[in-house]
Chains A and B, each alone.
Chain A
Amino acid sequence: MSALHLAILMPFIFAFFVPIFYKSLRKIHTGWIVLFIPVILFIYFIQFIPTLLQGKEIVRSLPWIPSLNVDFTARLDGLGILFALLITGIGSLVVLYSIYYLNKDKEQLNTFYMYLLLFMGAMLGVVLSDNLIVLYTFWELTSFSSFLLIGYWYEREKSRYGALKSMLITVFGGLCLLGGILILYVIAGTFSIQELMTQVNVIVNHDLFVFAMVLLLLGAFTKSAQFPFYIWLPDAMEAPTPVSAYLHSATMVKAGIYLVARMTPIFAFDSSGLWVWLIGGIGIFTLFWGSFNAVKQTDLKAILAFSTVSQLGLILSLFGVGAAAIHYDIDENIYTVAIIAAIFHLINHATFKGSLFMVAGIVDHETGTRDIRKLGGLMNFLPITFTVALIGTLSMAGIPPFNGFLSKEMFFTGMIRVLQLDIFNMETLGVLFPVLAWVGSVFTFIYSMIFVWKTFGGSFQPEKMEKKPHEPPIGMLIPPVVLGSLVVIFGLFPNALLGGLIESVAYSVLPKFKYEVHISHWHGFGPELYMTIGVIVIGFALYQSQGKWKKIYDLFPKKLTLNKLYDSFIPSLETGSNLVIRSHMTGYLRSYLAYIFIFFIGFLGFTMWSMNAFVLNTSKVGEISIYEIVLSLLIVIGCITIVFAKSRLTSIIALGAVGYTVSLLFVVFRAPDLALTQLVIETISVALFLLAFYHLPKKFRHPETRRFKLNNALIAIGVGLVVTLLAISSYSTKLFDSISQYYVDNTYDPAGGENMVNVILVDFRGFDTLFEISVLAIAGLGIYGLIKLRLARRSEK
C-alpha cells in the first residue's frame, strides 16, 4: 500500500474515530479535530503539482481481486489532481465554516462529520481510481453519503423526501454506470481506464459501444443533475448549508463531469457524433433550463441549486463540444478552446458558487430566513458578507474583471466555433449552441442580480426576520472571504496561477494535443464581446421589468412538471412491488415449502436433463427375490394407507408398518445392525406417537379442496420421480472408487473389532457418534424444557 492509497483511505479510517472524539472531548467542537484531515490531504496533494506539470503522472497499484481483474490502482494525473485539490481545498473551508454553522450543543456532530469524511474519502476514491469497478464502488459510496447528509435533519419531512429522491435518482444512474462498465469489460476485457485507452479502435467499432456510452452517460447525467434528472438537486438543499456548498455544488455533482472528462479519450473517437451531441445538447439545454427556472425561485438556496444545475450544464456542454476536436488533426486546434474553457470554468464555479452558498448560509444563520421576499437591505448590517456576495454574483453573471467573465467569454468562443465544425451536422443544427448559450447567460445575469440585490439591496424589513442581523463570527467569514478573494485573484492572474494546471488537465482529457493556455482579458471587438454586452444590457432591462414578463412561468401546466411525474411514479412503484411480493410471499409456511419442492424438481430435473446425467446401468444389479417384492408392496400399501387414512390411529399404525418393513428390508440387505436399531427406534416412535395421540385434537384432517390436493399431488409425484431418477443414476455411475476398503482392511487390525459397522461408529468416526449423542441430548433437553415451561407457567397462574 502506497502513500497515495493511504491518502484515499485516510478519511475513512478517521471517520471511525470521530464518535470517540465526540464522546470524550465534548468541550471542543468536533469540527476542529476533523479539520486536520482535509488540510493535511490538501498539502499532500499540492506537493505533486511540480511533478505533474512536467507531464508525468503517478500510478500506484494494489492488488485487490486479481482473479476478477479488479486492482485498486490509484492514478494521479492532471484531471485527478484538479479534483483532489477541489475536494480537499473546498473541504477544508467547508469544515471550518461548519464549525460555526452547526451548534456543538444542539446538533449530532459525530454523525455529521462521519458522513462528511465518508464522502470525502469516497470522492477522492472516485477521482483517483484507475479501475472502473473500484471507481464504481466509490461512486455509489458518494451517493450513500449524500443521502445521509441530506437526511441529516431527519426529523424534517422535507429532508427525508429530498434524501430519498436524490438516492433513488443517483443510484439508478449508478446502476446504469455499472452496466456500462460491464459492457466495456465485455468489449475490451479490462476494467483499467489506461488499458481501455489503448484499445480505442476495438471499443469504438464494437456493436455494443453505443449501449456502453448511453449507460455511462446516464450515470454521469444523474449524478451531475442534468435535464431531466436535475429534480433531485433542488430538494437536496434541505441538507445543512455546508453540505450544499460542498457536495451539491463544488464536488459530488461534478463527479458526472469528471466521468465524462475521464472517458473522453475513449469515447470521443466515436464516429457517429452521438457523444458530442448527447453531452453538448443535454448540457446546453440544461444550462438554459436551469437558469430559466432559477429566476422564479424565492429561496436563496433554491436559486443557487438551479444555478448549479445550469452551470453544470455549461461545463458539460463544453466538454461535449470539445470532444469534437479529436476528429481534427491540426496542431493549432481551434476547438480545444472548449476543453480549456470547461476546465477553467470548473475551477471558477467551485470558487464563486462555494462562496455564494456560504453567503446564503450566513444570511439564513443571521436572519432566520432565506426567503428573498422577506429579505432586503442587509447591505448595511452585513458589509463583508455583501462584498463577498457581490463579487460572487458578478463573477457568476460574467462581468469583468472576475474569473467568471474570463471563462464565460471562452465559453462563448467555444460555442461560436461549433458553427465552424463540418461534422455531425453541426453546420446546420449547431446554431442552437450559441443561441441557447446566450439566452441561458441572460437568465444567469438576471438571477445573479436577484440573488444579491433582493437580499442586500432594497428596503430593510426587520419585522419579517426572526433575529436582528449582524456580521457572523470571524471563523464563519473566513471561508467565503477566501473563496471570494480567489475569484478576484484568478480573475486578475489566470495564466500565472492556473495556466500550467489547466494544461495538464487538458492533456488528461485529450492527450492528442499540445496545449498552450493563454487566457486573455481583452479579445478585441469580436462576437464574444458583443454577446457579453448583450447579456448585460438585455439582462439588466429584463431584471428591471420582471413584473411584466414573469407571467410566462404560469404558462407551464403545473401537472406536467418532472417533480409531479416523480411523485406519482414512486407510489405506483411501491404498490407495484407490494403486489409482486404479496403474490408469492403468502405468509404460509406451506407455500414456501411448495416453492422449495418446485425449485428442487425444476433445478435438479433441468440439470440432469441438460448435463445428460441420467444413466441406467443394469449390468451389476442384484437379483430380485420374492421377499423383496412382498416387502416393497407392503411399503407402498403403507404409504397409500397413510395418505388416505381418515383417522389418526390408522395413519400412525401404517407409519409403524412402513418402519418395520424397512427394518426387514435392512435384514435382506445384509445390514443386521440397521435392522436392529430400526426395530427399536420404530417401536419407541410408535409409542411416542400414541402418547401424543391423546393430547392432539381429535379432528385429524382439515377440509382440503380438490384443486389443493391436485396441486400437492403433482408436486409430490414430481419430487418422487426426480428422486427415483437420481437414485438410479447415482447407482449406475461410479465417478471414483469407494473409500470403504480402508475401513474393511483396518477393522480387525489395528482397530480390534469384528463388526465393521460398529468399529466405524465407535472407532473411526467416534466423534460423529459423540455428536450424534449430543444432538439427542439437546433434543431431550428441548423436550424437557417445553414440557416444564408449561408447568411453570400454570403454577404462576
Chain B
Amino acid sequence: MEILMAIIIGVLFATATYLFLSKSILRIIIASGLLSHGAHLLILTMGGLKKGAVPLVNDIGVSVTDPLPQALILTAIVISFGVTALFLVIAYRAYQELGTDNIDKMRGTEENE
C-alpha cells in the first residue's frame, strides 16, 4: 500500500513540477494545489497507513492510527486553501494591470518600472 502511495505522490509532484514550469499563471496555481495534495499524502504515508482504527478514544483497547500527522495535515489543508485563494486574486489583478497571464511577459507596467 505505502509503495503504491509513494508512486502516486511521485506522480502528483511530477505533474505539479511540470505545471510550475509552464507559462500560464492559471496552470501555476493549479500546480500549487496538486503540490499540496502530494505533500499531504507524503506526510500521511511517512507515518504508516492503516495501522489501526480511526483515532478516536475507545474503551475496548483497539490501537489507533497515528493522529499527529492527521492534525498537521488538517492545518496544512486550510493554509494551502488560503494560499490558493490569494494566488487566484493576484493572478486576476495581475492580468488586469498587465494585460497578460503569461509570466514571461510580466515585466511590470511603464509607471512602476
CB distance from B39 to the nearest CB of A (A): 9
Say yes or no: A685-B33 contact (C-beta < 8 A), given A677-B78, A719-B13, A740-B66: yes
User: Is A635 interfacial (CB-CB < 8 Å)?
Assistant: yes
Segment at the interface with B among A98-106, A469-477, A724-732: A724-732
In the complex, the answer to whether A642 meets B15 with C-beta atoms within 8 Å is yes
Kindly identify which residue among B1, B20, B40, B79 contacts A662, using a CB–CB cutoff of 8 Å. Answer: B40
Segment at the interface with B among A197-205, A356-364, A687-695: A687-695
Say yes or no: A695-B92 contact (C-beta < 8 A), given A590-B103, A669-B49, A688-B85: yes
Complex formed: what's the CA distance from A731 to B51 in Å? 13
Q: Which residues of B contact A696 (CB under 8 A)?
A: 25-26, 91-92, 95, 101
Q: Which residues of A contact B51 (CB under 8 A)?
A: 622
In the complex, the answer to whether A622 meets B88 with C-beta atoms within 8 Å is no
Complex formed: what's the CA distance from A442 to B16 in Å? 79
The DSSP consensus for interface residues of chain A is helix
In the complex, the answer to whether A769 meets B77 with C-beta atoms within 8 Å is no
In the complex, the answer to whether B26 meets A723 with C-beta atoms within 8 Å is no
In the complex, the answer to whether B10 meets A678 with C-beta atoms within 8 Å is no
CB distance from A206 to the nearest CB of B (A): 50
Size category, A interface: 35 or more
In the complex, the answer to whether A760 meets B71 with C-beta atoms within 8 Å is yes
CB distance from A603 to the nearest CB of B (A): 15
Q: Which residues of B contact A727 (CB under 8 A)?
A: 2, 5-6, 9-10, 42, 45-46
In the complex, the answer to whether B40 meets A783 with C-beta atoms within 8 Å is no
Mark B34-71 against chain A: 1 for CB-CB distance below 8 A, else 0.
10011011101111111111111100000011111011
Complex formed: what's the CA distance from A765 to B18 in Å? 35
Size category, B interface: 35 or more
CB distance from B69 to the nearest CB of A (A): 8
Say yes or no: A700-B24 contact (C-beta < 8 A), given A628-B4, A669-B44: yes
Q: Which residues of A contact B109 (CB under 8 A)?
A: none
In the complex, the answer to whether A712 meets B71 with C-beta atoms within 8 Å is no
Complex formed: what's the CA distance from A715 to B74 in Å? 30
User: Is A786 interfacial (CB-CB < 8 Å)?
Assistant: yes
In the complex, the answer to whether A651 meets B21 with C-beta atoms within 8 Å is no
In the complex, the answer to whether A717 meets B56 with C-beta atoms within 8 Å is no
Kindly identify which residue among B21, B25, B102 contacts A716, using a CB–CB cutoff of 8 Å. Answer: B21
In the complex, the answer to whether A685 meets B101 with C-beta atoms within 8 Å is no
Q: Which of A738-797 contact B (CB under 8 A)?
A: 738-740, 743-744, 747-748, 753-757, 760-761, 765, 768-769, 772, 775-776, 779-780, 782-783, 786-787, 790
A to B CB contacts below 8 Å, 27 in the list: A620-B48, A628-B4, A632-B5, A662-B41, A668-B50, A669-B50, A671-B73, A684-B81, A696-B26, A696-B92, A700-B26, A701-B27, A716-B14, A719-B14, A721-B10, A724-B9, A728-B2, A731-B6, A744-B55, A747-B67, A757-B67, A769-B75, A772-B75, A772-B78, A782-B89, A786-B89, A786-B90
The 4 closest A-B pairs by CB, nearest first: A720-B14, A724-B10, A716-B18, A756-B67
- Which residues of A are interface residues toward B (Cβ below 8 A)? 588-590, 593-594, 597, 618, 620-624, 628-629, 632, 635-636, 639-640, 642-643, 648, 651-652, 655, 658-659, 662, 665-666, 668-674, 677-678, 681, 684-685, 688-689, 691-692, 695-697, 699-702, 704, 712-713, 715-717, 719-721, 723-724, 727-728, 730-731, 738-740, 743-744, 747-748, 753-757, 760-761, 765, 768-769, 772, 775-776, 779-780, 782-783, 786-787, 790
Known: A696-B92, A727-B6. 11 other contacts (CB 8 A): A620-B48, A629-B4, A648-B26, A688-B88, A728-B2, A738-B66, A743-B67, A755-B56, A757-B67, A775-B82, A790-B96
